[in-house]
């Protein structure tokens, strides 16, 4: 595929890796924010091409992983009700709530359906006027424009049987939360390319200044990630803390103004709890007053009851980059993708799932170049 | 979850900017996507698509930059070798 395959060229990847080795004189700790980048790094073994002195930390950019358990419990409660069609992106179905998961609710007779686009859920509501159709609004700024248009379209066509259980989260406040944590050791960030395709990257300029950390907006293919690391290392080595854009083929400085405009009509920014990270100020989206009638939690009269995470799950520490999946005693034994303790083992973007799929036997020494 | 894939717009249906749909070719697989957020997109453009929505049109000059950067690295290395 054009604009994809050419960024997987192995020779050019090795060349970038050699340049990273040449430029690196000291140890550096860099976090890739997005779970899609984590997945690519582990899948292609990109971290193994880097000098041993460069540590890549896997960030909290997996919306499935950070959706709090109490919201999963709300989803489970709605999905089990008769007369409801509960729609969700596929990777939410195995995420454990307090007692069960959406897939089990489906197995027990709940009408849970996987959708590709939020507009599919709108069509389901139109085609099934006697049933309540609920969409699980999960995702970062990349996904919010899609659910915003679904709500906008439902309002425009006066769909009375369509609501959204909303769990959208925002990246910059999470980065601020990580940086202000006392155990933070992150020195540079690969910012998430597709979030920036929507939002642009001006939001990161004050963060780069305040915390003296470089941000490089980075894509998802091996050459993108290696060039992102190289640009970050060059900034770190020369004492700069700027915002650079590696992913210019899809990211403009101002982002996508059309998407931002509709998001601002449908959503407002609110405080939100993150699984593993706790409450982060102004880090989530809720429906604006004009669109409140599409809020599933209100429609179904649900209260948010705080749920307790399993004590033997280290997902919170993994999401903050404090632990790697291997360091969790439950990894690969009591916790597997089939029987996950935490959401990071479920989603294809979760760090634990990526390690389980590609790194169950950690035999390759890091830092060795071919 | 933020997975987005580049594809080529084969054809466009609808006129209203918020409901415009496109058939998009992803390496031979054709899927429909909304063009609500790329009103300037035309047939033949490459766009990046996430959950059925085109989010951005490719900037072809920027797309070449990774490769230009690698070429410049070569030139710099040649210069260093040439200098005493």
CATH code of A113's domain: 3.40.50.11740
Average pLDDT over residues A278-298: 96
CA torsion angle for A272, A278, A283, A286 (degrees, to 10)?
-10
Same domain, A234 and A335: no
Residue identified by tokens 């924010």 is A33
Same domain, A298 and A320: no
Same domain, A289 and A185: yes
Same domain, A225 and A330: no
Task: Let me know if domain B5-82 sits in CATH 2.30.30.140.
Answer: yes
* Residue A306: per-residue pLDDT: 76
Which residues, 6 or more positions from A282, have their beta carbon under 8 angstroms from its beta carbon?
Answer: A170, A173, A269, A270, A271
Taking the CA atoms of A206, A265, A136 and A279 in sequence, report the sign of the dihedral they define: positive
* Phi, psi of A107, deg, nearest 5: -60, -30
* Residue A310: per-residue pLDDT: 81
pLDDT tens by residue, B1-35: 678 999 999 999 998 989 999 999 999 999 999 99
Cβ contact, residue pair A250, B55, below 8 Å: yes
Same domain, A321 and A201: no
**Is residue A137 within a helix (H) or strand (E), and if so which, with residue range?**
strand A132-139
pLDDT, greater one: A125 or B79 = A125
Between CA A87 and CA A80 the distance in angstroms is 12
Same domain, A188 and A224: yes
Indicate the residue of A3, A120, A227 with minimum beta-carbon distance to B58. Answer: A3
**Which residue(s) pair with A216 in the sheet?**
A190, A244
Indicate the residue of A15, A16, A258 with minimum beta-carbon distance to B39. Answer: A258
pLDDT tens by residue, A172-223: 999 999 999 888 899 999 999 999 999 999 999 999 999 999 999 999 999 9
Which residues, 6 or more positions from B82, have their beta carbon under 8 angstroms from its beta carbon?
Answer: none
Indicate the residue of B6, B26, B51 with minimum beta-carbon distance to A116. Answer: B51
* Number of separate helices (H) and strands (E) present in chain B: 2, 5
Q: Can you tell me the ipTM of this complex? A: 0.93
Same domain, A249 and A201: yes
Same domain, A176 and A33: yes
Cβ neighbours of A36 in B, within 8 Å: 1-3
Cβ neighbours of A224 in B, within 8 Å: 66
pLDDT, greater one: B40 or A324 = B40
pLDDT tens by residue, A324-349: 898 899 999 999 988 888 889 988 78
The structural domain count of chain A equals: 2
Same domain, A230 and A173: yes
Domain limits at A272? 28-305
């Amino acid at each position: 595929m054009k604009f994809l395959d050419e960024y997987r060229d192995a020779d050019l990847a090795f060349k970038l890796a050699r340049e990273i080795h040449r430029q690196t004189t000291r140890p550096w700790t860099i976090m890739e924010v997005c779970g899609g980048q984590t997945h690519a790094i582990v899948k292609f073994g990109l971290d193994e091409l880097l000098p041993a002195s460069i540590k890549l930390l896997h960030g909290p950019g997996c919306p499935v992983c950070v959706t709090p358990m109490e919201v999963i419990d709300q989803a489970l409660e709605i999905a089990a009700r008769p007369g409801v069609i509960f729609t969700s992106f596929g990777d939410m179905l195995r995420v454990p709530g307090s007692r069960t998961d959406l897939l089990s609710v489906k197995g027990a007779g709940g009408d849970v359906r996987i959708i590709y686009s939020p507009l599919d859920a709108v069509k389901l509501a139109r085609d099934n006027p006697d049933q309540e159709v609920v969409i699980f609004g999960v995702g970062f700024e990349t996904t919010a424009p899609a659910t915003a248009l679904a709500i906008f379209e439902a309002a425009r066509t006066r769909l009375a049987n369509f609501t959204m259980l909303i769990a959208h989260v925002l990246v910059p406040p999470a980065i601020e939360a990580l940086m202000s944590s006392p155990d933070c050791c992150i020195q540079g960030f690969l910012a998430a390319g597709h979030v920036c395709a929507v939002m642009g990257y001006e939001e990161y300029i004050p963060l780069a200044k305040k915390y003296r950390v470089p941000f490089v907006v980075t894509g998802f293919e091996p050459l993108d990630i290696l060039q992102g690391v190289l640009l970050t290392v060059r900034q770190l080595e020369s004492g700069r803390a700027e915002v650079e854009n590696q992913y210019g083929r899809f990211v403009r400085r101002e982002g996508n103004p059309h998407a931002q405009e509709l998001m601002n009509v449908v959503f407002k920014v609110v405080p939100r709890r993150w699984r593993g990270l706790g409450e982060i100020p102004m880090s989530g989206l809720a429906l604006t007053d004009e669109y409140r009638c599409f809020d599933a939690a209100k429609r179904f009269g649900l209260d948010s009851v705080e749920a307790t995470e399993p004590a033997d799950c280290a997902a919170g520490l993994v999401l903050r980059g404090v632990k790697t999946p291997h360091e969790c005693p439950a990894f690969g034994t009591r916790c597997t993708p089939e029987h996950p303790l935490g959401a990071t083992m479920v989603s294809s973007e979760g760090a634990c799932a990526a390690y389980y799929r590609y790194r169950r036997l950690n035999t390759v020494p890091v830092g060795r170049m071919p | 979850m933020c997975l987005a894939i580049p594809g080529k717009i084969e054809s466009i249906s609808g006129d209203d900017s918020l409901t415009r749909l496109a058939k998009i070719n992803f390496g031979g697989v054709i899927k429909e996507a909304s063009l609500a957020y790329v009103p300037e997109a035309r047939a033949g453009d490459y766009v990046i698509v996430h959950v059925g929505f085109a989010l951005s049109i490719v900037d072809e000059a920027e797309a070449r930059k990774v490769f230009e950067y690698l070429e410049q690295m070569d030139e710099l290395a040649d210069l260093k070798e040439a200098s005493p």
